[in-house]
């Protein structure tokens, strides 16, 4: 801690001590002097050694936690924690190289996707009038685009008016806008005990406290949800009732009604991520939670996980009283969604291409999930016939990190549970396998067989780290 003391003594006029301490600790983390998972000294010990107040140390730890560099666990202490974006980068590949990439949740891409995309691009290029390339208003999206989106959402089980709808640059953008409309540093937001990494990252950017809820086979535990609502001031719940990422569980209708009832009783907003909803549309009777709680719900879906990966166009339905606020945040955040993608999505919905690609995707996913069950059935914790993921149990004789490294040596990538864990959540003995890898069915089966072979082998006695 001696160089922390030197950093404090070098503070410039007007620079607070807690910020100097933050900079010193960040430098140690970035330069590797403090490793991921390492426990930081107790706050009282730091205050005594550096000759500063406890409040100064507390403020520094809070800022480090806000930045996602430290996680504070009650009764255990404070630990170095890589930012969510950094954990994601090491768990999900940005580029494939020669690896068989089972780490990225994406649809199965086919020549049919390429054909429809190319035909649409040629059609657009030949038109004299192209307002989607010149316009920068309205912020919420073209009225025609929103009116067609209303019909798409009705197909997903949600009735909404176009004036309560925004076009966004994908579902992640929509969820971020909803969170920014509701939550700040003094708020507590709940999510599933295993949740999409985008929500965890948003908590670090917006500064709210994120808490994970207990889960069972049907999703969020309503008793735990109600207990927290009854005893704390909860601002919002973020949830994915359809094909939760990473577990693939689908919340039954009765559970959705129960969650909606608890949220209404305690005035808690619900942010519903239904990015996978189109894959289930018409396949089940459960309506979105937002259908039962329109006055408190944000509902978001998009084209990326069902129609075309690069069609990053989302739809965000908002509570009426928050529509203007959310639109103003969109204006500041990105001005508006890309109108060109809005035009393509609109044409594909109207022309039936969107639904045709969804149906094609269901067939492809069903085929690949059947392979997963055949090859990895005994290691399978949960999957779904139309899910992009399978949730695999790590055998007792393996550690997940070591198992991931062994698979990488065989040119296969799976995802560790870490990116999906809210602060303080227990680490499950599981890994996510995504079935949308760009490969043939024969390569897919060979890859799954290789995964099974590694899972069923005992690890090296001496592992070279």
- 71 is written with which tokens? 């996680």
**Per-residue model confidence (pLDDT) at position 81:** 78
**pLDDT one-digit tens code per residue, 213-259:** 999 999 999 999 999 999 999 999 999 999 999 999 999 999 999 99
Q: Which of 422, 431, 432 is nearest to 195 (CA)?
A: 422
Q: Which of 285, 86, 261, 298 is nearest to 179 (CA)?
A: 298
Q: How many residues does the chain have?
A: 465
Report the C-alpha gap between 132 and 145 in whole angstroms.
11
Residue with tokens 């670090």: 204
DSSP string spanning 186-231?
T-EEEEESS--HHHHHHHHHH--EEEEEPEETTEE-HHHHHHHHHH
The number of CA neighbours under 13 Å toward the Cβ of 60 is 27
**Per-residue model confidence (pLDDT) at position 115:** 97
Using a pLDDT cut of 90, give the percent of the chain over it: 72
Indicate the range of 176-180, 279-283, 409-413 predicted with least confidence: 279-283
Q: Which of 253, 325, 261 is nearest to 293 (CA)?
A: 261
Segment 271-297 mean pLDDT: 92
Domains of the chain: residue spans and CATH: 1-82 (1.10.10.10), 93-111+355-456 (3.90.1150.10), 131-351 (3.40.640.10)
Q: Does position 357 have pLDDT exceeding 80, yes or no?
A: yes
**Per-residue model confidence (pLDDT) at position 2:** 76
**Per-residue model confidence (pLDDT) at position 88:** 52
* Cross-strand pairs, 77: 73
Report the greatest alpha carbon distance in the chain: 73
Res. 35 pLDDT band, cuts 50 70 90:
confident
Res. 303 pLDDT band, cuts 50 70 90:
very high
pLDDT mean across residues, the chain: 91
This prediction's pTM: 0.81
Res. 157 pLDDT band, cuts 50 70 90:
very high
**pLDDT one-digit tens code per residue, 85-129:** 555 555 555 444 568 999 999 999 999 999 999 999 999 999 988
**Per-residue model confidence (pLDDT) at position 16:** 81
**Per-residue model confidence (pLDDT) at position 96:** 45
- 219 is written with which tokens? 């999703």
Q: Does position 152 have pLDDT exceeding 80, yes or no?
A: yes
**Per-residue model confidence (pLDDT) at position 64:** 85
Q: Which of 92, 269, 62, 275 is nearest to 182 (CA)?
A: 269
Q: Count of CB atoms within 10 A of residue 143's CB?
A: 11
**Per-residue model confidence (pLDDT) at position 95:** 47
């Amino acid at each position: 801690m001696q160089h922390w003391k030197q950093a404090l003594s070098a503070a410039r006029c007007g620079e607070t001590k807690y910020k100097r301490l933050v900079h010193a600790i960040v430098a140690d983390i970035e330069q590797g002097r403090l490793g991921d998972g390492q426990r930081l000294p107790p706050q009282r010990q730091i205050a005594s050694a550096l000759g500063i107040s406890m409040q100064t140390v507390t403020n520094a730890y809070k800022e480090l936690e806000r930045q996602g560099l430290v996680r504070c666990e009650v009764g255990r202490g404070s630990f170095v924690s890589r930012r969510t974006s950094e954990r994601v980068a090491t768990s999900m590949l940005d580029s494939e190289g020669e690896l068989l990439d089972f780490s990225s949740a994406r649809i199965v891409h086919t020549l049919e996707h390429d054909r429809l995309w190319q035909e649409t691009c040629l059609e657009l290029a030949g038109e004299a009038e192209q307002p989607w390339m010149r316009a920068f208003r309205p912020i919420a999206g073209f009225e025609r685009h929103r009116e067609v989106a209303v019909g798409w959402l009705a197909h997903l089980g949600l009735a909404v008016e176009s004036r309560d709808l925004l076009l966004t640059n994908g579902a992640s953008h929509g969820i971020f806008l909803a969170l920014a409309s509701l939550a700040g540093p003094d708020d507590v937001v709940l999510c599933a005990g295993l949740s999409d990494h985008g929500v965890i990252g948003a908590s670090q950017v917006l500064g709210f406290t994120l808490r994970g809820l207990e889960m069972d086979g049907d999703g969020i535990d309503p008793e735990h949800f109600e207990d927290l609502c009854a005893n704390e001031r909860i601002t919002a719940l973020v949830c994915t009732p359809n094909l939760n990422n990473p577990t693939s569980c689908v919340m039954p209708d009765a559970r959705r009604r129960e969650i909606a009832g608890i949220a209404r009783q305690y005035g808690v907003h619900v942010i519903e991520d239904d990015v996978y909803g189109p894959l289930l549309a018409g396949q089940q009777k459960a309506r979105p939670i937002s259908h039962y709680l329109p006055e408190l719900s944000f509902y978001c879906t998009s084209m990326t996980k069902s129609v075309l990966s690069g069609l990053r166009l989302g739809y965000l339905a908002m509570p009426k009283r928050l529509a203007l606020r959310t639109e103003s945040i969109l204006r500041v955040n990105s001005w508006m969604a890309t109108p060109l993608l809005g035009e393509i999505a609109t044409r594909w919905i109207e022309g039936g291409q969107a639904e045709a690609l969804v149906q094609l995707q269901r067939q492809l996913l069903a085929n690949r999930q059947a392979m997963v069950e055949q090859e990895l059935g005994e290691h399978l914790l949960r999957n779904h016939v139309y899910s992009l993921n399978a949730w695999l149990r790590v055998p007792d004789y393996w550690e997940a990190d070591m198992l991931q490294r062994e698979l990488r040596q065989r040119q296969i990538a799976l995802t560790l549970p870490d990116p999906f864990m809210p602060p303080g959540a227990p680490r499950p003995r599981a890994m996510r396998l995504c079935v949308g890898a760009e490969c043939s069915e024969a390569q897919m089966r060979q890859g799954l067989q290789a995964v099974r072979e590694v899972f069923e082998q005992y690890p090296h006695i001496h592992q070279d780290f």
